[in-house]
Amino acid sequence: MSVGAGTDQIASIAKAQSMGYAVLAVDGNPDAPGLTISDESVVLDIRDEDAVVSLARHHKVAATLPVPIGRFLTTQGAVNDCLGLQGVTRAAALNCTNKSMFHACLSKAGITVPEQIVYEGVTDLRKAEGLDWPFPVVLKPIHGSGSQGVVVLPSVDDWTAIRNDLDASLYDQGGLVQSFVEGIVLGLDGAIQDGRAILTLAREKEMTPWPYRVELTHRAPANLPASAWESITECLQIALVALGVNGSVFHADAAWTAAGQLVLIELSARPAGVMITSKLVPQCTGIDFLAEAIRLQLNGEGSFKASYLRPSLLHYWNYVSGIVKRTPTIRELHKMPGVVEAEIGLHAGQHLQTPKSVHDLTGNGYLLLSASHWSEVQATFDEAKSLFEIEPLWK
């Protein structure tokens, strides 16, 4: 069963089918693209745990697919609990997806996390003066939202300017303010089997400028000291146990500070989306991450230790707000050394706006590069970017 059938779930659905398994997909959106490719599909609100569990029991579901999903990872956990399946439990899913509970679990375990102030709802949040906040701060919904509603506020004046215009639907269950952590922004991918954490890949993320912090480029492996991998794995081990996660893959966001300390910002018992685990991780590590994650869900076995780390880069096309004057052709890109895959969703005359979430970027296309040395990857990346002409909206 795939709990959710949106764009991010398609890769896992297709991978399971390629391995010979039939997939039942469920999503509340009748136009969800994953419904059209699944062996069986049901339009059903995934917030309704009882209905989803009943459906899974009726179809004798053997496993829930590891898919990128936000706050309703709890529904997947409920199915696993009720049917006695491998994977994340509902309690662990709640610890991962509720940022207040996540913070409490990790703080109690002695893990370094950002300072945090929690607000029960959008009304309480709007009342906050912000005068005692340690600016700059990060404002975000209390539940995972695919980076929607996440904004960096440099000063109290910036907060005053936006607080009455907050999207109430994003903060309906509450919001929080976190201290902004300086350092190398990391994405971490791996698994925990039989209580042992395995770090498959640490990748470095280039983010868009403030106020919105949207991941624009992933460089793998991250440029960290060799000793950092062991330190990060030890931290993840403690964090995963504290959250109650076992027999599952995981994805985490973190920062590596100048002092050589890992600060965990988010961690969830599911694979990363937007082509990271379906394209970037296999290219860099040689591991078919989604296939191994499915095996883990089915029988508790999977292979997640990378045998090599090949310099690789995943970039979502977007540079500045402006009007697109020219884009390269796919043929031009594929002539370049190291280009593994590329798509161009931009077109001449298109008006580009500042992205507010990663899903604002995915329709623009992407570039996946890989080579023996970082200098080769960077040279091709620079050449590819130079083929775009964007006219700023102001001069």
Tokens read off for 93: 């899913």
Residue type, 37: I
Indicate the class that CATH gives domain 94-100+182-299: alpha beta
Place of tokens 């297709």: 14
Q: Note down pLDDT in tens along the chain; length 395 residues.
A: 999 999 999 999 999 999 999 999 999 999 999 999 999 999 999 999 999 999 999 999 999 999 999 999 999 999 999 999 999 999 999 999 998 999 999 999 999 999 999 998 889 999 999 999 999 999 998 876 667 788 999 999 999 999 988 888 888 888 999 999 999 999 999 999 999 999 999 999 999 888 888 899 999 999 999 899 999 999 999 999 999 999 999 999 999 999 999 999 999 999 999 999 999 999 999 999 999 999 999 999 999 999 899 999 999 997 678 999 999 999 999 999 999 999 999 999 999 988 888 888 888 999 999 999 999 999 999 999 999 999 987 65
CA-angle at 224, arms to 220 and 366, nearest 5°: 20
196 backbone dihedrals φ, ψ, rounded to 5°: -115, 125
Distance CA 183, CA 192 (A): 26
Closest CA to 118 of 92, 91, 99, 90: 99
Distance CA 269, CA 80 (A): 13
Residues 6+ apart with CB under 8 A from 259: none
Distance CA 313, CA 339 (A): 10
Tokens read off for 166: 């907050």
Q: Locate the domains of the chain by residue range.
A: 2-85, 94-100+182-299, 115-179, 312-392
Cβ atoms 333, 384 nearer than 8 A: yes
CATH tag, 312-392? 3.90.1170
Four-way CATH pick for 115-179: 3.40.50.300, 3.40.50.1980, 3.30.1490.20, 1.10.10.10: 3.30.1490.20
Q: Where are the alpha helices (DSSP H) in 247-329?
A: 281-285, 289-299
Indicate the class that CATH gives domain 2-85: alpha beta
Record the pTM: 0.94
Residue 62: CB atoms within 10 Å: 15
Distance CA 23, CA 61 (A): 9
Place of tokens 């491998």: 86
